[in-house]
Amino acid sequence: NRENDFSVDTFDDRTVIICDQCEKEYHVGCLRDIGLCELEELPKDKWFCCDDCNRIYVALQNSVSAGADTIPSSLSELIIRKHEERGLCTYGSMNDIQWRILSGKSRYPEHLPLLSRAAAIFRECFDPIVAISGRDLIPVMVYGRNISGQEFGGMYCIVLIVNSVVVSAGLLRIFGCNIAELPLVATSREHQGKGYFQVLFSCIERLLSSLNVEKLVLPAAGDAESIWTKKLGFHKMSEDQDLNVILVLRYSSMVVSLMLDFILQADFRVLALSKYLKEVQLTLFNKTSVLEKTVQLVTE
């Protein structure tokens, strides 16, 4: 749980350990009581609460190390069709369109230019996202840093690259096999309307499907909500007035931290949201709706 019932200076049953993938917190004593594991000291390396979290972490790290990958042929056809509808030429081969998983926290030198471009796209497409201190939170999230008790080390940046240029980017965090979040996703303005956003989202959903992740949630502003619900299969989890009851404001401007320490007595959709918030720390935006989608099984 997230209450202050834990030991800091000594290792005992009240010591809290956090899964390095789903970020859930566990008392060492509770782990022993339920037979999950028996720890005699804090692990010196990564620690995972279950085989699924271990599997997801290893798969993500392998994908990061593997580098860029070409998009499936069906997605290439989508881009060609979008270009033809706008009377645009598709320059080069479809092999010049790739997607890639980046880890800002890992600080790989070859990732830095791509992450910088992703951050620039987010700044271009979104209102300023700043902490109370005035610090820009976009690079904090992109590079997997921590600030004011909010941890972003589990964020991965997924980018779509056309002719060596990042045109679309999204931030993805996977809380085990139950749920993943997509707090930011955008296409640079000069490349909007060319099918790149749909391709990037399809790559993200394919990744989640391959990892057997069940649900994807994201924040959507009013003007974008219909795109997510009508074209991409999301549904609204709660009404704005219900969501405001459970927001715990941490930052000025848009960013809020959602940390629920009680079960909200409301309709089923809000209870579904509260279940997530009891277990994980989602990063959402003020004045947005929480949308949810069951990840589609992809066989191609």
CA 156/CA 203 separation, integer angstroms: 13
What would the pLDDT profile of 122-178 be if each residue is shown by its tens digit?
Answer: 999 988 887 767 788 899 999 999 887 778 899 999 999 999 999 999 999 999 999
Confidence of residue 119 (pLDDT cuts 50, 70, 90): very high
What would the pLDDT profile of 48-74 be if each residue is shown by its tens digit?
Answer: 888 999 999 999 999 999 999 999 888
Structure tokens at 32: 């022993």
Q: Is there a contact between 32 and 38 (Cβ–Cβ < 8 Å)?
A: yes
CATH tag, 1-49: 3.30.40
Domains 1-49 and 56-294 in one fold: no
Q: What is the mean pLDDT of residues 20-44?
A: 73
CA 173/CA 187 separation, integer angstroms: 19
Dihedral (C-alpha) 197, 201, 202, 204: value to the nearest 10 degrees? 140
Q: Is there a contact between 68 and 99 (Cβ–Cβ < 8 Å)?
A: yes
247: DSSP letter: -
* pLDDT for res 224: 87
* pLDDT for res 256: 32
CA dist 68 → 13, 159, 199, 206 (Å): 44, 9, 15, 15
| Measured distance between the N- and C-terminal CA atoms of the chain, rounded to whole angstroms | 39
pTM score, two decimals? 0.81
Confidence of residue 86 (pLDDT cuts 50, 70, 90): confident
Buried b (16+ CB within 10 A) or exposed e, 101-114: bbbbeeeeeebeeb
* pLDDT for res 279: 63
Q: What is the mean pLDDT of residues 28-49?
A: 72
Residue spans per domain, the chain: 1-49, 56-294
Confidence of residue 264 (pLDDT cuts 50, 70, 90): very low
Domain 56-294, CATH 3.40.630.30 — does that match? yes
